[in-house]
């Protein structure tokens, strides 16, 4: 069945005889299309370069701001909570007493999430670059 389809397609292509009457117009159209493809490749390369620079900037800003925030949390006196709700019992008192630990854990989780997302984005950019180079 597939053999007959392949044979039919081959006969169809062999039966077509294209006529090239205006080679100048064909070459102009071909050149225009090749220029468009080159423009798109350059645009993709610029976009990938810009993404890389943005990822590096986000990484540096994240590391610096996370380090400063953790240094601030750890540099305050241990006896002084980061937040105070002026209550004597309940969940808010526990939250006030453990605010330093909660803030440090939250900042660490936020930095970890940021690093994971940056690594994921860098991998996506590298995949875009390999696809661009392959085409």
Among 72, 81, 75, smallest CA distance to 102 is for 81
Report the 10 Å Cβ neighbour count for 126: 12
pLDDT band at 103 (very low <50, low <70, confident <90, very high): confident
Kindly report whether the global pTM for this prediction surpasses the value 0.75. Answer: no
Instruction: Give CA–CA dist 91/106, Å, rounded.
Output: 18
DSSP state of 82: S
Sorted by sequence, the CB contacts under 8 Å of residue 82 that are 6+ apart come out as 73, 76, 99, 100, 103
Q: What is the pLDDT of residues 35-79, one digit of tens each?
A: 888 888 888 888 888 888 887 888 788 788 878 877 887 787 777
Q: What is the pLDDT of residues 23-36, one digit of tens each?
A: 778 788 888 888 88
Q: Are the C-beta atoms of 126 and 49 separated by less than 8 Å? A: no
């Amino acid at each position: 069945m597939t053999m007959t389809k392949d044979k039919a397609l081959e006969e169809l292509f062999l039966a077509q005889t294209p006529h090239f009457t205006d080679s100048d117009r064909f070459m102009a159209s071909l050149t225009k299309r090749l220029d468009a493809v080159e423009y798109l490749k350059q645009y993709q390369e610029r976009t990938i370069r810009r993404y890389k620079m943005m990822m590096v900037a986000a990484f540096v800003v994240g590391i610096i701001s996370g380090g400063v925030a953790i240094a601030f949390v750890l540099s305050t006196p241990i006896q002084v909570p980061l937040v105070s709700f002026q209550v004597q019992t309940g969940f808010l008192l526990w939250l006030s007493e453990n605010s330093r630990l909660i803030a440090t854990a939250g900042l660490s989780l936020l930095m970890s999430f940021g690093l994971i997302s940056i690594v994921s984005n860098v991998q996506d950019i590298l995949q875009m670059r390999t696809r661009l180079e392959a085409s």
